[in-house]
């Protein structure tokens, strides 16, 4: 099976698996005061420092959560009395917490003029949430500009960097956002663990309450094993840059081979290397997915990372893509194991279907 669905989840990296398997079967609870507890605390704090270090998180705290979804919910629900302004192409875990939607252009980039107008018009405390990179189109948002605008109007900024982690360099010092969400399984770590990175002076109301773990931001005994795996999966900036180049070439190979047959959504914007949202006009996403599956290629339509349901993508509709065309889109998302031969095979299988449907 050729796997081209990395934006849904990435295979567990060997080093993450090994780091977790190396842990002894000990009664580890980081809140216990005895020796086992202290060792668990050491391992947990080591993992925390390692993930934070990987994104240059000096001046920020990291709160482990169960997922990127939970990190987004904590960020957006944790500030009482704030109006949340979110781009209309966000993941549903952000979208469902938004009070006001910020429109995007036809490439899916957030409309900065519209954002400024909203910031002027909306009274009171405001939190702007714009993702770093889109799960469906891979479009990279202009976060520096968003931070500048928000700063001008005294608003805070959250960014969902779940898809950016491991796919583009992340540097908290350069970004200067107030909060940032991560998820381990998108970059080869285990499932069931995410993180919210929070500026140190910012207070959030915990959404999961109980024993006060995670510095009072998120109760519940920490998933220390997963935290260790998460830390081991974080690539270095050099590794990321090298991989970006490699996947960028494969993306170029794919999109140029399909010129005239596929419409690439978000093509005019800066995109993640390795993510292509492709429309085959007149052929439904479902038909395409079945065809690719029968030919041993796993990919998804739009944002099937939620429940596998094939619904029209809110992202494509927000970009102004017609409903009929939005129903003919598949997403190719590449990763560490993706090879030139696999992309060549994808192109052949695409062309077979395209020709058959003419």
Report the largest interatomic distance among the alpha carbons of the chain, rounded to a whole angstrom.
70
Give yes or no for residue 97 binding ligand PLP (CB under 6 A). Answer: no
> Among 254, 247, 266, which Cα is nearest to 138's?
266
Please, which residue, 72 or 313, has the CB nearer to ligand PLP?
Answer: 72
Q: 30, 54, 57, 68: which one contacts ligand PLP (CB under 6 A)?
A: 68
Residue for token digits 């997963």?
Answer: 226
How many other CB atoms sit within 10 Å of the CB of residue 131? 26
The nearest distance, CB 122 to ligand PLP, in angstroms, is 24
What DSSP assignment string belongs to 36-48?
A: HHHHHHHHHHHHH
- Answer for which of 19, 41, 139, 160 binds ligand PLP (CB under 6 A) is 160
Find the binder of ligand PLP among 88, 129, 183, 313 (CB under 6 A): 183
In the complex with ligand PLP, which residue's Cβ is closer, 137 or 213?
137
Binding to ligand PLP in span 117-136, by CB under 6 A: 131, 135
Tell me, by CB under 6 A, how many residues bind ligand PLP.
14
Q: Is 93 in the site for ligand PLP (CB under 6 A)?
A: yes
Could you tell me the sign of the dihedral formed by the alpha carbons of 275, 280, 283, 284, in that order? positive
CB 84 within 8 A of CB 99: yes
Binding mask 273-312 for ligand PLP (x = CB under 6 A): --------------------------------x-------
162 binding ligand PLP? (CB under 6 A):
yes
Smallest distance, Å, CB 234 to ligand PLP? 15
Nearest distance from C-beta of residue 133 to ligand PLP, angstroms: 8
Catalytic-role residue among 109, 187, 305, 328: 305
- As measured in angstroms, the least distance from the Cβ of 185 to ligand PLP is 6
- Using the minimum distance from each CB to ligand PLP, give the nearer residue, 162 or 330: 162
Q: Which is nearer to ligand PLP, 163 or 251 (CB)?
A: 163
CB of 93 to ligand PLP, least distance (A): 5
- Contact between 5 and ligand PLP (CB under 6 A)? no
249 part of the active site: no
Q: For residue 53, what is the enclosing H or E element?
A: helix 35-54
DSSP code of 186? G
Q: Check: CB of residue 193 under 8 Å from CB of residue 226.
A: yes
SS3 142: coil
| Angle at CA of residue 138, ends 328 and 243, nearest 5° | 125
CA angle (334 as vertex; 242, 325 as ends), nearest 5: 135
Dihedral in degrees, nearest 10, Cα atoms 115, 121, 127, 130: -10
Strands 156-160 and 179-183: parallel
141 binds ligand PLP (CB under 6 A): no
Is the CB of residue 172 less than 8 Å from the CB of residue 244? Answer: no
Binding site for ligand PLP (CB under 6 A): 67-69, 72, 91, 93, 131, 135, 160, 162-163, 183, 194, 305
Q: What residues are annotated to the active site? A: 305
């Amino acid at each position: 099976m050729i796997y081209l669905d990395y934006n849904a989840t990435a295979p567990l990296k060997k080093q993450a698996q090994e780091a977790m398997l190396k842990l002894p079967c000990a009664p580890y609870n980081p809140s216990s005061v005895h020796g086992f507890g202290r060792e668990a605390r050491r391992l947990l704090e080591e993992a925390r420092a390692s993930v934070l270090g990987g994104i240059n998180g000096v001046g920020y705290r990291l709160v482990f959560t169960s997922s990127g979804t939970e990190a987004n919910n904590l960020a957006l629900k944790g500030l009482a009395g704030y109006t949340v302004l979110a781009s209309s192409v966000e993941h549903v875990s952000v979208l469902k917490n938004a009070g006001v939607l910020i429109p995007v252009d036809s490439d899916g980039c957030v409309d900065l003029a519209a954002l400024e107008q909203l910031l002027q018009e909306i009274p009171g405390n405001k939190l702007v949430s714009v993702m770093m990179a889109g799960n469906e189109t891979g479009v990279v948002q202009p976060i520096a500009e968003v931070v500048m605008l928000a700063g001008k109007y005294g608003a805070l900024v959250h960014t969902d960097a779940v898809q950016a982690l491991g796919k583009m360099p992340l540097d908290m010092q350069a970004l200067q956002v107030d909060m940032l969400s991560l998820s381990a399984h998108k970059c080869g770590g285990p499932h069931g663990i995410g993180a919210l990175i929070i500026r140190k002076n910012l207070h959030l109301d915990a959404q999961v309450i109980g024993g006060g773990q995670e510095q009072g931001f998120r109760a519940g005994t920490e998933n220390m094993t997963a935290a260790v795996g998460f830390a081991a999966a974080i690539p270095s900036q050099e590794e990321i840059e090298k991989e970006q180049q490699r996947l960028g070439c494969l993306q170029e190979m794919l999109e140029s081979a399909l010129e005239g047959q596929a419409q690439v959504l978000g093509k005019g914007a800066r995109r993640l290397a390795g993510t292509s949202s492709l429309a085959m006009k007149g052929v439904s996403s479902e038909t395409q997915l079945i065809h690719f599956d029968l030919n041993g290629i796993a990919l998804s339509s739009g944002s099937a990372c939620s429940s596998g349901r094939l619904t029209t993508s809110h992202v494509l509709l927000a970009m102004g893509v017609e409903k009929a065309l939005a129903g003919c889109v598949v997403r190719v998302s590449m990763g560490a194991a993706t090879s030139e031969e696999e992309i060549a095979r994808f192109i052949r299988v695409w062309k077979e279907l395209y020709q058959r449907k003419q």
